[in-house]
């Protein structure tokens, strides 16, 4: 029986982190003992929570995960043919700053240098993975972009900023649908994939979580780019327009968003939680950055309340986030709506923690 429900967004964020910490030792987070973005997303959410509550048990848990995989010489085993491998590197910067241990910087350098080896489109866009040749995916902007900007800021490699902004511009150029303001999940420069539009190369649908990765990335870019960077104004306008595009497709009854964002009227479509969490984070962050106004803040509050209403509990009073789409490649409508769902998948819980931390000041005092 639940004795007392969390009262604030921060308390919900703590409950989400504490619930998974109660189930898993840090190195056992699934997939166990692997350098992987699933753990990286969850632990990045935990790091944002730590910044608010300053409870070192959260930082200790993050360090336990990293130290399970990075040895004293900065060696680590990671996939060398995909952007996804870079994301967990976001955990290294705070550890290097906090401990002074060189191994964390060495590991970060290895991930930075991975970007030098990746295949690219003819315009210099990173392939998402080698096994997806000639393809850019929205996911990749977050997987490598935020790391690149943090690396630029921590270690003085300013040229990475231009690379990151170039990746975002290419995605907009090839993947943005001007009518809806949304971006397609993937783009195949070669037009060879069965899902690729023969004229544009785009996949045919707007997938919730991929749009969430894009929004998360752009919102965090705004925090990481220097005030004088010439790309900020253009990026701010894009974030403004993107947030308002998301709001247009928010389900008014639940406050959440559908798996295929623009097709909520289809009977086999369904409300998906990880993308909804990422959208709430993105909208709330844009509000705080002054990019969008009170109408967007209300949409974020509606989304947050919708998320809290779908949360469940196990017999040990641990939080459960349901209806998280499993990892998903680009495809057609049927591909997305028939994907299995799971509970407490790490990129869902991590996104929930991010959303709750970001909503604290928008809920407080209301």
Cα-based distances in Å from 348 to 6, 99, 156, 168: 19, 29, 33, 24
Please, are residues 4 and 12 in contact by the beta-carbon 8 Å criterion? no
- The Cα–Cα gap between 224 and 366 comes to 30
Q: What are phi and psi of 325, to 5 degrees?
A: -65, 135
- The Cα–Cα gap between 281 and 355 comes to 4
What is the C-alpha radius of gyration for the chain, rounded to an integer number of angstroms?
Answer: 19
73 CA to centre of own chain: 29
Torsion of CA 18, 20, 23, 24, to 10 degrees: -110
Q: Residue 107 is encoded by which pair of tokens?
A: 């590991």
CA-based torsion, 287, 91, 23, 142: positive or negative:
positive
Q: Is 139 a catalytic residue?
A: yes
SS3 content of the chain, % helix, strand, coil (to 5): 55, 5, 35
**How does DSSP classify residue 137?**
E
Among candidate residues 68, 139, 323, 345, the one labeled active-site is 139
- The Cα–Cα gap between 209 and 276 comes to 8
Q: What are phi and psi of 82, to 5 degrees?
A: -155, 150
- The Cα–Cα gap between 328 and 335 comes to 8
Q: Residue 347 is encoded by which pair of tokens?
A: 């990129």
Which residues are catalytically annotated?
A: 139
């Amino acid at each position: 029986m639940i004795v007392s429900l969390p009262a604030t967004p921060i308390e919900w964020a703590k409950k989400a982190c504490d619930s998974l910490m109660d189930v898993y030792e840090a190195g056992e987070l699934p997939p166990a003992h692997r350098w992987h973005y699933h753990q990286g997303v969850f632990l990045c959410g935990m790091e944002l929570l730590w910044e608010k509550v300053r409870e070192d048990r959260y930082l200790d848990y993050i360090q336990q995960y990293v130290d399970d995989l990075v040895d004293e010489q900065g060696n680590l085993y990671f996939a060398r043919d995909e952007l996804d491998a870079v994301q967990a590197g976001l955990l290294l910067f705070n550890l290097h700053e906090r401990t002074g241990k060189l191994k964390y910087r060495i590991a970060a350098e290895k991930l930075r240098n991975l970007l030098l080896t990746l295949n690219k489109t003819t315009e210099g866009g990173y392939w998402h993975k080698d096994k997806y040749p000639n393809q850019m995916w929205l996911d990749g902007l977050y997987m490598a972009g935020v790391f690149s900007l943090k690396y630029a800021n921590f270690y003085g490699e300013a040229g990475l900023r231009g690379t990151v902004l170039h990746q975002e511009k290419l995605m907009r150029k090839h993947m943005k649908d001007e009518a809806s303001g949304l971006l397609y999940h993937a783009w195949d420069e070669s037009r060879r994939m069965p899902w690729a539009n023969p004229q544009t190369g785009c996949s045919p649908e707007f997938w919730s979580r991929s749009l969430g990765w894009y929004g998360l990335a752009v919102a965090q870019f705004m925090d990481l780019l220097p005030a004088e960077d010439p790309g900020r104004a253009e990026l701010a306008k894009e974030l403004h327009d993107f947030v308002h595009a998301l709001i247009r497709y928010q389900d008014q009854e639940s406050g959440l968003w559908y798996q295929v964002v623009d097709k909520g009227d289809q009977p086999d479509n369904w409300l998906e939680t990880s993308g909804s969490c990422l959208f709430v984070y993105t909208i709330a962050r844009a509000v705080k950055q002054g990019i969008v106004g009170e109408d967007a803040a209300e949409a974020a509050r509606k989304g947050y309340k919708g998320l809290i209403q779908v949360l469940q509990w196990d017999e040990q009073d641990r939080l459960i986030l349901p209806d998280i789409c499993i990892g998903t490649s680009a495809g057609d409508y049927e591909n997305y709506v028939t994907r299995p769902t799971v509970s407490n998948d790490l990129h869902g819980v991590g996104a929930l923690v991010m959303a709750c931390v970001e909503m604290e000041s928008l809920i407080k005092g209301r």
